[in-house]
Chains A and B, each alone.
Chain A
Amino acid sequence: DAGVIQSPRHEVTEMGQEVTLRCKPISGHNSLFWYRQTMMRGLELLIYFNNNVPIDDSGMPEDRFSAKMPNASFSTLKIQPSEPRDSAVYFCASSLWGARGTGELFFGEGSRLTVL
């Protein structure tokens, strides 16, 4: 069974460009999380969805960041316009929430973003 799939694995772009990161959660999972990891700040939760609905986006840095989950099998994290300080590894994770779930998060391999 495939795990959480993220694309692209690596992205190098120039300041001001739009960046779109994609995530396919594990089939059957109903929670999806976007995290960002940097050396300075560690692993930060940006936003999470339950049943495709955004529940908490308080971790989103600013209006340049937006996330969508149009259906249970796909989510995007968009940065527009991108800035050098957005350079980080972005992780997507999914989980089964509710009585049947143990709360274990399954992480993808991450998307390494470099903004020049």
Chain B
Amino acid sequence: DAKTTQPTSMDCAEGRAANLPCNHSTISGNEYVYWYRQIHSQGPQYIIHGLKNNETNEMASLIITEDRKSSTLILPHATLRDTAVYYCIVRVEGGANNLFFGTGTRLTVIP
């Protein structure tokens, strides 16, 4: 069962901000929003996660709406190396449940 929905693909100009949306309307109160990305032929890489407050780290920012039904991952200055498939996932933090990966968004950064 897909718990998140994301656009299939997006393009972004190099140097501009990339904003990747995700809908998770059935998220539970104790579930966090996680973002991973997968660069071609590599294993998925963790980016960021959050519960209800906006989060920022060295890679990206995560904006979660007040009702927590959607979120946006922001790459402030996209580079060609950010071209990848980005997965939005919901799960309990540190919980024993699995991580279900949907189809993700294929982001292409254009020179």
Contacts and interface: CB of A to CB of B under 8 A. Distances in A.
Contacts of B86: none
A116 interface: no
Contact of B96 (A4, A55, A106): A55
A45 B100 contact: yes
Contacts of A25: none
A88 B24 CA distance: 29
A18 interface: no
A97 B98 contact: no
Contacts, number: 65
Contacts of B68: none
A42 interface: yes
Contacts of B100: 45
Contact of B94 (A4, A55, A98): A98
Interface stretch (A63-71, A75-83, A107-115): A107-115
B98 A48 contact: yes
A91 B99 CA distance: 13
Interface of A: 4, 31, 33, 35, 42-43, 45, 48, 50, 55-56, 89, 91, 93, 96-110
- Pairs A-B, 3 closest by C-beta atoms: A107-B43, A101-B94, A43-B101
